[in-house]
Amino acid sequence: MSQSGGVLSDAVLVARKDLLLERRAKIGIGQVLPFAILVLLLFAFALDPDRGILKLATPGLFWVTVLFSAVLTLQRSFALEAEDGILEALRLSGMSPAGIYLGKVTALTIELLLLEAVLVLGVAVLYDTKFLGIPLLFAIALLATLGIAGAGAVYGALAARLRSRETLLPLLLLPLLAPVLIAATRGCEVSLEREAMSGWSWAALLGIFALVYLTLGSFLFRPLLEDA
Amino acid sequence: MTTTKIQSASTVSPAPTGTGSRGTKVLGGFALVFLVIAVVYGLFISPPDAQLGNTIRIIYMHVPTVMAAYLAFIITAVSSGMYLWKRTEFWDLLGSSAAEIGVLFFAVTIVDGALWGKVTWGVFWRWEPRLTTSAVLLIMYIGYLAVRAIPADPRTRATRCAIIGIVAIVNVPIVHKAVDWWRGLHQGKTVLGTIDPEMGGTQLFAMYSSLIAGLLVCVWLLIHRFRAGFLAERASDLGLDQALEERRLESSPATGEDA
């Protein structure tokens, strides 16, 4: 049925389109990133920087900030598609739904990884965190972000056409991402040498999560585009 | 039941007017009998446990409610998959009815688990793996019901719900594993939610009768909820037909008088 290329070329096309839009509109850099840094500051106001709580809780605070920013990024990413019947146009374009899904996920992952890179610097400066175990940290960031984007794209597309999407998306998405928050936080604690347990088992759990949701999303995106 | 069938076949409108039938009455009767047995044995006849003391009586309620909730969520997941495959109203209604019943039983489970915690640990809440997992799952299914409550075209709404039903059930083992490891670093598992193999005769009887009672009540509620949902759909169809008919009559009042 698909007249254009395969799933992968569709994915590349959609991802490039999203990244181009982001480069031009600069919503991520202009709005989401300042919001994320603001959250880091708010945590500092709430938790008194002198008592050492910030330093102890850095991995958790970092990932909570990433989750909040991911909700905003997702809303932006799918609000683009929901306007002017673009989702219908995508459906009629002959592109494979799995390709569209993987393209959205790729663009989201790249945007969120860039955001995380800046946030890591923010945490290092604001919370005085020293980073160790860089390979593990990198693996955890990549796998967790893939999972967030993979699960998020399914619910982002589902909520996009609903009038109550702003309130509904966090309600649907955040409990789903609870295991990502747990695994990413604990894994980072290991890489910051706060926990003795091997961090790679957390990375493996994040990998399984990402794999499950990417597979599920690739299959569910067709009914999602056609009916939901 | 057979008489109503014959009647409905001969009359023009076969729509049922209630959610009860002989089958549900029998089922409800059984559920009631087992509930009474469970209450009598669980609260009065069975002795306190050697380790847990009288708090074991909360577990007689806790295990059935959590089992019923999981049964309901499994039904939701299977129905969601079947809906995406068959696209029939039956699977959509079954899935959403089961989700509602599941949320109800899960909320009860968390409340009785917290009560047990207050008596045993001195606090209502501990970040114990099962409690934490349950809390996350409950909120996930509340999200399902929130989407269900949004008015939409039936096919659209059913597809949305089916997707959430599938995604949610897939997440259950992942949440469980993550929370298990997370808390496993700090404390061992608790006895809450497990059936002790050393349990004595009347205790075991109380446990099993309450388990049967819980599952029967769950199925009974599910059937009624399903039928109520079915009737609600018919009523909304009827309302639409009626409104159309009224608009038609408004445009040509003479035809209404003639008939």
Task: Sort residue B246 into left (φ over 0), alpha (ψ -120 to 50) or beta.
Answer: alpha
Distance from CA of A158 to the nearest CA of B (A): 7
List the domain range (segments joined by +) for residue A36. 7-227
The interface predicted TM-score of the complex, written ipTM, equals 0.87
Q: Distance between CA A197 and CA A187 in Å, rounded? A: 9
Q: Indicate yes or no: CB of A212 within 8 angstroms of CB of B170.
A: yes
The per-residue pLDDT for A116 is 95
Residue A154 in domain? yes
122-141 of B, contacting A, C-beta below 8 A = 136-137, 139-140
Tell me how far apart the alpha carbons of residues A209 and B166 are, in angstroms, rounded to a whole number: 15
- For chain A, what is the domain count? 1
* Average pLDDT value for residue range B131-136: 84
pLDDT of residue B184: 64
pLDDT in the model for residue B163: 95
Mean per-residue pLDDT, B125-131: 80
Task: Report yes or no: A42 at the B interface, CB cutoff 8 Å.
Answer: no
Position B196 pLDDT exceeds 90: no
pLDDT score of A49: 79
- Mark yes or no for CB contact B178/A168 under 8 Å: no
Q: Chain B partners of A212 at a C-beta cutoff of 8 Å?
A: 170, 174
Using the Cβ of A186 and the Cβ atoms of chain B, whether some distance falls under 8 Å is answered with yes
Task: Count CA atoms within 13 Å of residue B235 on its CB side.
Answer: 9
Query: What is the mean pLDDT of the segment spanning B46-51?
Result: 81
Residue B242 reports pLDDT greater than 50: yes
| Nearest alpha-carbon partner for B150 in A31, A164, A132 | A164
In a domain, A1, yes or no: no
The model's confidence at residue B53, banded by pLDDT at 50, 70 and 90, is: confident
pLDDT of residue B229: 92
Q: How many cross-chain Cβ pairs, A to B, lie less than 8 Å apart?
A: 85
CA distance B10 to A204: 63
Kindly tell me if the per-residue pLDDT of B48 is higher than 70. Answer: yes
**A174 inside domain:** yes
Q: pLDDT grade, residue B152 (50/70/90)?
A: confident
The pLDDT score that the predictor gives to residue B11 is: 45
Residue A54 confidence (pLDDT): 86
Which among A175, A182, A220 has the least Cβ separation from residue B178?
A182
pLDDT score of B143 more than 60: yes
Statement: residue B26 has pLDDT above 80: yes
> Does A146 reside within a domain?
yes
Residue A21 located in a structural domain: yes
Pick from A18, A192, A202: which is nearest to A102 by CA? A18
Give the pLDDT confidence score for residue B134 in this predicted structure: 85
Q: What pLDDT tens digit does each residue of chain A (228 aa) get?
A: 444 568 899 999 999 999 999 899 888 888 999 999 999 999 989 988 777 888 888 999 999 999 999 999 999 889 888 887 787 888 888 899 999 999 999 999 999 999 999 999 999 888 888 877 888 899 999 999 999 999 999 999 999 888 888 899 999 999 999 999 999 998 888 877 665 567 788 899 999 999 999 999 999 999 988 887
Is the pLDDT score of B77 beyond 90? yes
For residues B217-231, give the mean pLDDT.
94
Chain A: give the shortest CA distance to residue B100, in Å: 16
Other C-beta atoms lying within 10 Å of the C-beta of residue A197: 14
Which pLDDT score is estimated for B146?
Answer: 95
Q: How much is the average pLDDT of B207-214?
A: 92
pLDDT surpassing 80 at residue B1: no
Decide if B167 touches A, using CB distance below 8 A. yes
Residue B191: pLDDT above 70? no
Per-residue pLDDT band for B254 (boundaries 50, 70, 90) equals: low
- CA A228 to CA A156: how far, in whole Å? 12
Distance from CA of A66 to the nearest CA of B (A): 19
Per the CB < 8 A criterion, the answer to whether A169 and A159 are in contact is yes
The kind and range of the H/E element at B123 are none
Count the Cβ atoms, other than its own, within 10 Å of residue A145. Answer: 26
Residue A153 lies in a domain: yes
User: What gap in Å lies between CA B126 and CA B135, rounded to an integer?
Assistant: 12
Q: What is the pLDDT of residue B14?
A: 57
Tell me the residues of chain B between 186 and 225 that have a Cβ less than 8 Å away from chain A. Answer: none
A202 at interface of B, judged by CB pairs closer than 8 A: yes
Half-sphere exposure of B19 (CA within 13 A, CB side): 14
The domain spans of chain B are 55-193+215-230
Long-range CB contacts for residues B120-127, cutoff 8 Å, separation at least 24: B120/B52, B120/B55, B127/B183
Average pLDDT of the residues of chain B: 83
- DSSP output for A151-164: HHHHHHHHHHT-TT
pLDDT above 90 coverage of chain B, percent: 44
Q: Supply the pLDDT for residue A88.
A: 81
> Is residue A183 included in any domain, yes or no?
yes
Torsion of CA B217, B223, B224, B225, to 10 degrees: 100
> What average pLDDT does this structure show over B165-182?
86
Q: Is A179 helix (H, G, I), strand (E, B) or coil?
A: helix
Whole-angstrom distance, CA of residue A142 vs CA of residue A207 = 9
DSSP A51: G
Report if residue A2 sits inside a domain: no
> B77-84: which pairs have CB atoms within 8 A and are 24 or more residues apart?
B77/B165, B77/B166, B77/B168, B77/B169, B79/B162, B79/B165, B80/B161, B80/B162, B80/B163, B80/B164, B80/B165, B80/B166, B80/B169, B81/B162, B81/B166, B83/B158, B83/B159, B83/B161, B83/B162, B84/A223, B84/B159, B84/B162, B84/B163, B84/B166
pLDDT at B15: 61
